[in-house]
Amino acid sequence: MRHLIKLAGAAALAIGLSTSGFAAEKLKVAFVYVGPVGDFGYSYQHNEGRLAVEKALGDKVETTFLESVPEPDSDRAIEQLVRAGNKLIFTTSFGYMEPTLKVAAKYPNVFFEHATGYKRSANVATYSAKFHEGRYVQGVIAGKLTKANVIGYVASFPIPEVVSGINAFMLGAQSVNKDIKVKIVWANTWFDPGKEADAAKALLDQGADIITQHTDSPAPLQQAEARGKLAFGQASDMIRFAPKTTLTSIVDNWNDYYIARVKAVLDGKWKSEDTWGGFDANLVNMAPYTNMPADVAKMAADTEAAIKSGKLHPFTCPVMGQDGKEIECKGKGVLDDGQILSMNFYIKGIDDKLPQ
C-alpha cells in the first residue's frame, strides 16, 4: 500500500510540475479510512463525502484516500500523505487521534481534521456527528416492537462514542418499555463480517429478537433476516442487504461538512475548531422507517423531529447510573456535550459490566 502511495505521490508530483505553468495548483485533499470503502457502512459514507467534494469543487481540488488503515500504525500513512503534497487531511476514525496530532505537530502548514476525537491543536480540527440521537430513535422503535424484551447489541470497541450510543439506545427503549433488556457483545473490530455475523447469531441464540449494531458490515442484518428477526442498519442505508428485516439505518452524512471545510481552506478561512452536529445540522439522517406498523413509524418520526427541533434531548436529566445514583447534570437540564463525549459508564437497566 505504501509503495502505491509513493508511486501516486511521484505521479502527482510529475503532473503538478508539468501543469504548474498553466494553472494555479489544485488543493490536494486526502482522506484516511479505517475500513474498506466498500464496507457499505462507515467508511463508505466518508467516501461519499469525498466524492461530494469532488463533484462540488472538482476544478479546484484533487482528492485521494487510503482505506483500511490500521489505527495503531496510521502515523506513517498520514505522514506519507503530507509528503505527497496534501494540504488538508481528514482522518476519519477515533483511533487516529494521537497519530494525527503527532504528524500535525511536525507539519504546521498542513491542516488536519480528525473525526470523533476530542483533542485539537492549532492545525488539527475535530468533527463528529451526534450518532446517539439516531440510536435514541432506534431505541424507541425497538422498545415498541420487541416481543422478547431482549435486544442484541453488536458493539465494536468500548470508546465513548459507542458507550453513549448504547446508553442513548436504552434511554429511548426505556421511554416506551420499562422491562426492556439489552445483551451486548463486543466484537473488538470495526469490520469483520464473519465475526459480526457470529456475534449476531450468539445474540439471537440467547433470545434477542431485534439486533442493532455499532460495527460497519451488513452481516448482522443478514443473520437477523435469515432468522426472520428485525434489525437496524449502521452508517449507511443497508436495506438492500435485508429488505424484510431492516427497520431503519442511522445514515452518516458528511457531504455538506466536507464541502464547507474544503471551501474554507480554499478561501483561506480555515481554523481549528470543533464541529458536533446531529439531526439539526444534517450530519445524521435516518433512513426510511420500514418493516414496522404505521403507528411505530409515526412515533419514530415524531421522536426524530423532536430531537431535531431541540425539544427532546436523549440525555435529559435525571439520568441514572448503573448503581441507581443520579449522574451529575452539567448541562441545562441535560448532560452536557463533554459528558456525552467522554461517557464511560452504563446507565441503569443495563445488566452488564463495561469493559475497561
Partner 1 sequence: MDFAAAIMITVITATTPLLIAALGELVVEKSGVLNLGIEGMMATGAACGFAAAILTGSTFVGVAAAIMAGMALSAVFAFLVLGLAANQVASGLALTIGGIGLSGLIGAGFVGTTRQPVPRFEFPDLSAVDLLKDVPYIVEIAGVLQFVFGQDPFVYVSLVLAGGIFWFLGRSRAGLLLKAIGENQVSAHSLGLKVVWTRFLAILFGGACAGLAGAYLSLVYTPFWSPGMTAGRGWIALALVVFASWRPLRLLFGAYFFGAATVLQLHAQAASLGIPAQLLSAFPYIATIIALVIMSVGRTSIGAPASLGTPFVPDR
Contact positions vs partner 1 (CB under 8 A): 1, 35-40, 67-68, 152, 183-189, 191-199, 201-203, 205-206, 208, 217-219, 222, 226, 240-241, 351-353, 355
φ, ψ for residue 56 (rounded to 5)?
-80, -35
CB of 74 to partner 1, least distance (A): 16
Whole-angstrom Cα distance, residue 84 to residue 299? 50
| Residue in 69, 76, 109 with CA at minimum distance from that of residue 93 | 69
- In the numeric block, which cell numbers belong to residue 313? 434531548
- Side chain identity at 310, as an amino acid letter? G
- In the numeric block, which cell numbers belong to residue 121? 491543536
| Identity of the residue, 110 or 197, whose beta carbon is nearer to partner 1 in the bound complex | 197
Cross-strand partners of 38: none
Angle formed at CA 288 by CA 262 and CA 314, multiple of 5 degrees: 75
CB of 8 to partner 1, least distance (A): 13
247: helix, coil or strand? strand
CB of 228 to partner 1, least distance (A): 14
| Identity of the residue, 3 or 147, whose beta carbon is nearer to partner 1 in the bound complex | 3
| Identity of the residue, 125 or 239, whose beta carbon is nearer to partner 1 in the bound complex | 239
| Identity of the residue, 133 or 216, whose beta carbon is nearer to partner 1 in the bound complex | 216
Whole-angstrom Cα distance, residue 151 to residue 142? 8
Whole-angstrom Cα distance, residue 251 to residue 238? 9
- In the numeric block, which cell numbers belong to residue 284? 445524521
| Identity of the residue, 1 or 14, whose beta carbon is nearer to partner 1 in the bound complex | 1
CB of 116 to partner 1, least distance (A): 20
CB of 309 to partner 1, least distance (A): 34
